[in-house]
Structure 1
């Protein structure tokens, strides 16, 4: 588990409907940070069906989902749960905080 928060971007650089990716500086985990209607969410940037980055997929702000381009698995950006086959397991969800005018996240898994 990383106790070190990773800087994502300035708070004004991640607008509703947009996403950014970073790597947790301690664990090396790729993290996808999404802005859904002004609320920020962070997920591991890896489809639970197959090891492929979710950030290359389509983020649909209307239904708060992201779709993996590889096989069409969709995930709820708010909690990481799988919404359809071929994915059945959720993707890891991480904390996000706004501090010092920036967006920060970290891999908080044990």
Structure 2
């Protein structure tokens, strides 16, 4: 599979221990800063159509602001009810102070 690395934003703009929503090539993406790493998922909850960047990040899980379902930000796995569907996660790399996301 061909990788499609797209420049998302400056690495310094990703808050540590928090989440930010960004537009990456027309796609609503959530970027999470944790332990010096950056993770990326779709920004829309699969259950309630809420923006995950408005949720609460703790211990590697993002809590949806609508119904408190949680996703693992490293894998996109749905962790509890009422979620029944995972979110898509994306590979991330940091080069020259920029965050790149592979939307492939």
1:6 and 1:106 in contact (8 A); partners too: no
Q: 2:90 aligns with which of 91, 94, 109?
A: 94
Aligned-pair Cα RMSD in Å: 1.9
Secondary structure of the residue aligned to 2:57 is strand
Q: 2:34 aligns with which of 17, 33, 36?
A: 36
- In the aligned structure 1, how far is the partner of 2:65 from the partner of 2:16? 21
Hey, which bits of structure 1, 4+ residues long, moved more than 3 A? none
Give the TM-score taking structure 2 as reference length.
Answer: 0.87
2:18 is matched with which residue? 18
2:64 is matched with which residue? 68
Aligned length: 103
Give the TM-score taking structure 1 as reference length.
Answer: 0.82
Secondary structure of the residue aligned to 1:34 is strand
Query: What are the ranges of 5 or more consecutive residues in structure 2 without an aligned counterpart?
Result: none
2:63 and 2:71 in contact (8 A); partners too: yes
